[in-house]
Amino acid sequence: MVDRTNRPSALKATDAAGPEAQIDIVGSGASSKVIATLPSGESVEVLLFGATVTSWKSNGGKTENLWLSEKAALDGSKAVRGGVPVVFPVFGPPPKSGHPTSSLPQHGFARTSRWEFLGKSAAEDALGSDSVKLDFGLYSSGLTDEARKAWPLDFGLVYSVTLSKDSLQTVINVRNEGEQSFEFQFLLHTYFKIQDISKVAVNGLLGVTYVDKVLNATEHKQSDNSIKITGEVDRVYASIPQDTTSIVEDGKPRFDVVRDNLQDTVVWNPWIEKAKSMGDFSPDDDYKHMVCVEVGAVQGWQKLDKGEVFEGGQTIRSLL
Ligand SMILES: O=P(O)(O)OC[C@H]1O[C@H](O)[C@H](O)[C@@H](O)[C@@H]1O
């Protein structure tokens, strides 16, 4: 049941996000979310907390493509376990000391900040009625005092989520709005929903060097085009020449993940013990039904001087 009564007045003007797509704003406060639905039934849901995409349905709305933990906090109390959390301005645990991100929590503050819904952006890119583009904003002024203190730099983020019949595009635009230069990392921590991990392969990273976080951060070269997941996997593939990483299930292509101006990809599955140890990962054995393929810029740092802009993102295609 869609509750329209709590809609902030600033959002009223954005009601018609595309000639035919329907936009609903559900809930209030930290649990507000924006739902866009195409006339053909496909939909996307974006929680304002973290601008986290929590659901993406294709195939006329019949196929959910993203995994979301049954115990994911959707009330703004912690980062969402599932969907597409946005990682910025640091990936993983920050450098121990001596870096401007050192006082931030793991994966930074974007996934735990309340974003603004900016509405439908100007359709520069000839989106047909089969697509709808939603924009979300986060500015230094919108951070909690704690986050602002930990990273006192002036920035603007615009995150665009474009739903089309068979694909979802998520793109970040980072602008340095201050006098001082800053460095950042960025990553889209996408949790893909799959039927059976034993039948899944992640393809398209052949020849790429990766850091294996499960094996004491040692460096390896991917020698097989097909990565099978038979235990805990936590690998950072860097400087990837190929544009597309594919998730294949039971020998059939399931998802294509196409990077745009992002050179790195993390492949993660927590497997049995780690899944059990995470309080918000539920049910425990759902590691069998998810795999994270996370595109980003996480090797080294992206630097922006005053007024400069960085843009990067992904297009994910559901191939069912
Ligand atoms: O538990 P979180 O902070 O959400 O992080 C979940 C995971 O994110 C990435 O995939 C990292 O490579 C992993 O090392 C980490 O465990």
Give the domain CATH number at 53: 2.70.98.10
In a domain, residue 168? The reply is: yes
In a domain, residue 46? The reply is: yes
* Predicted pLDDT at 30: 87
Rounded Cα distance between 59 and 166, Å, is 7
In a domain, residue 3? The reply is: no
Encode pLDDT of 132-153 as tens digits. 999 999 999 999 999 999 999 9
Q: Which domain holds residue 20?
A: 9-318
Rounded Cα distance between 297 and 48, Å, is 23
Is the Cβ atom of 213 under 6 angstroms away from ligand 1?
A: yes
Whether 189 is catalytic: yes
- 161 near 169, Cβ under 8 Å? yes
Is the Cβ atom of 106 under 6 angstroms away from ligand 1?
A: yes
In a domain, residue 4? The reply is: no
Rounded Cα distance between 281 and 275, Å, is 6
Return the structure tokens found at 253: 């292509």
Domain count, the chain: 1
Encode pLDDT of 225-239 as tens digits. 999 999 999 999 999
Rounded Cα distance between 163 and 233, Å, is 30
User: From the candidates 42, 107, 189, 249, which is the catalytic residue?
Assistant: 189
pLDDT at 127 > cutoff 80: no
In a domain, residue 2? The reply is: no
Encode pLDDT of 68-91 as tens digits. 999 999 999 999 999 999 999 999
- pLDDT tier, 122 (very low <50, low <70, confident <90, very high otherwise): very low
Is this complex scored with an ipTM above 0.90?
yes
pLDDT at 11 > cutoff 90: no
pLDDT at 15 > cutoff 60: no
The alpha carbon of 30 and the centre of ligand 1 are apart by a number of angstroms equal to 23
Is the Cβ atom of 107 under 6 angstroms away from ligand 1?
A: yes
Rounded Cα distance between 108 and 88, Å, is 5
* Predicted pLDDT at 320: 84
pLDDT at 304 > cutoff 70: yes
In a domain, residue 1? The reply is: no
- 84 near 53, Cβ under 8 Å? yes
